[in-house]
Amino acid sequence: MHIDLSGKTALVSGSTQGIGLAIASGLAQAGATVAINGRTAEGVDAAIRSLSQQLPEARLLAAPGDVSGDAGVAAVLESAPTVDILVNNLGIFGSRPALEIGLDEWQRYLDVNVLSAVRLIRAYLPGMIERGWGRVQNIASDSAIAIPQEMIHYGVSKTALLGVSRGFAKAAAGTGVTVNSVIAGPTHTGGVEDFVYELVDSSLPWEQAQREFMRLHRPQSLLGRLIEPEEIANLVVYLASPFASATTGAAVRVDGGYVDSIVP
């Protein structure tokens, strides 16, 4: 299967590192012009330099702005006024006992993990519908379904994102625009390495720490290892392509079998 996204423009929020950077790389390799987003221009420029070294032919745009607020969304719209593919990847996570999560922190998680997606969908979906083609993907998590005890605020925010995806898919019904969630499982990123070492012995070598984390805290995984960001990106690129034209309103799993369910 050859995926060709030439002539399409994509925006990936939170794409200066981790899963977002891998998604941006995958879309660029498929031929899309990709707008790189992060909170600061310096971070975005560094990500673009790194991607350009790896992919000299990549077409990349700088679209800095904190999309958890209206001002940041306005800045992104100036850099990328029209997109065909929107990937809402921006997200924060961290462990905290449930009763120690204050209301301000709850609000922050909702602003970053949920309302950033809502803001960008509201900005770009009307144009997609008018043009009769578009792809919106919201990067959710296995935590949306299996709420983790150590970070229920994160899990609840990702549950809300599943509802956002299904609702906007209905708003785009019959227009040629698809809206889906991608349920990512436990994934190997720099931030996750820090998170792992919060929960297991920090003196352990990484490979041993990863195995211990999966054994103790994610035993449902059928992979028994963390997923690599590129494995998430592979699914996102497919869903962004014309081959996925009949997939909409779905929560598609790339979770390593973590969610114990025989349906998506």
Question: Which residue of the set 124, 154, 238, 258 is catalytic?
Answer: 154
Whether residue 151 sits in one domain with residue 242: yes
Residues 168 and 137: beta-carbon distance below 8 Å? no
pLDDT digits over 198-240, tens only?
999 999 999 999 999 999 988 999 998 899 999 999 999 999 9
Do the domain assignments include residue 264?
no
Whether residue 22 sits in one domain with residue 126: yes
Whether residue 146 sits in one domain with residue 103: yes
Residues 158 and 141: beta-carbon distance below 8 Å? yes
Whether residue 151 sits in one domain with residue 222: no
Q: What is the pLDDT of residue 96?
A: 94
Whether residue 194 sits in one domain with residue 99: no
Residue 235: phi and psi, rounded to 5, are -70, -40
Q: What is the pLDDT of residue 264?
A: 72
Do the domain assignments include residue 3?
no
Q: What is the pLDDT of residue 53?
A: 98
Task: Please count the structural domains in the chain.
Answer: 2
Residues 52 and 58: beta-carbon distance below 8 Å? yes
Do the domain assignments include residue 169?
yes
Whether residue 133 sits in one domain with residue 63: yes
Whether residue 147 sits in one domain with residue 102: yes
Prediction pTM value: 0.95
Do the domain assignments include residue 65?
yes
Q: Can you give the residue range of the structural domain that contains 29?
A: 9-187+228-254
258 catalytic, yes or no?
Answer: no
pLDDT digits over 141-199, tens only?
999 999 999 999 999 999 999 999 999 999 999 999 999 999 999 999 888 898 899 99
Q: How far is CA 107 from the centre of its chain?
A: 19
